[in-house]
Amino acid sequence: MIEINLRPGQKRARGGTSLADLRSRLSSLGTSVRNPLPMAAAAVIAAVVLFLGWSWLNAARQLSSLEPRLEQARQENQRFKNFVAQKRKVELIRDSVLAQIEVIRRVDGDRYVWAHVMDEVARALPSYTWLVDLGGAGGAQAANRPVVAAAAQAEDTTVVDTAAVRTVPFQITGRTVDVQAFTRFLRQLEASPWVTDVVPISAQTVIEKERPVTAFSIKAAFRRADSAYIRTAPLSQSVR
Specify which residues 173 forms β-bridges with.
133, 217
CATH of domain 113-226: 3.30.70.60
pLDDT band at 156 (very low <50, low <70, confident <90, very high): very low
What is the rounded CA–CA span in Å between residue 162 and residue 122? 27
**Number of other residues whose CB lies within 10 A of the CB of residue 120:** 20
pLDDT in tens, 107-124: 766 677 888 889 899 999
**Number of other residues whose CB lies within 10 A of the CB of residue 203:** 15
What is the rounded CA–CA span in Å between residue 180 and residue 152? 39
pLDDT of residue 64: 85
pLDDT of residue 63: 84
pLDDT of residue 34: 59
Burial class (CB in 10 A: 0-12, 13-18, 19+), 216: buried
- Domain parsing of the chain, residue ranges: 36-108, 113-226
pLDDT of residue 90: 93
pLDDT band at 96 (very low <50, low <70, confident <90, very high): very high
Model confidence at 175: pLDDT above 60 = yes
Q: Closest Cα partner for 181 from 113, 240, 100, 124?
A: 124
Contacts of 105 (CB under 8 A, 6+ apart): 162, 163
pLDDT of residue 39: 77
Is the Cβ–Cβ distance between 182 and 214 less than 8 Å? yes
Is the Cβ–Cβ distance between 131 and 215 less than 8 Å? no
Is the Cβ–Cβ distance between 162 and 110 less than 8 Å? no
pLDDT band at 70 (very low <50, low <70, confident <90, very high): confident
pLDDT of residue 89: 93
Model confidence at 50: pLDDT above 70 = yes
Is the Cβ–Cβ distance between 136 and 169 less than 8 Å? yes
Sign, CA torsion 191/195/196/200: negative
pLDDT of residue 236: 64
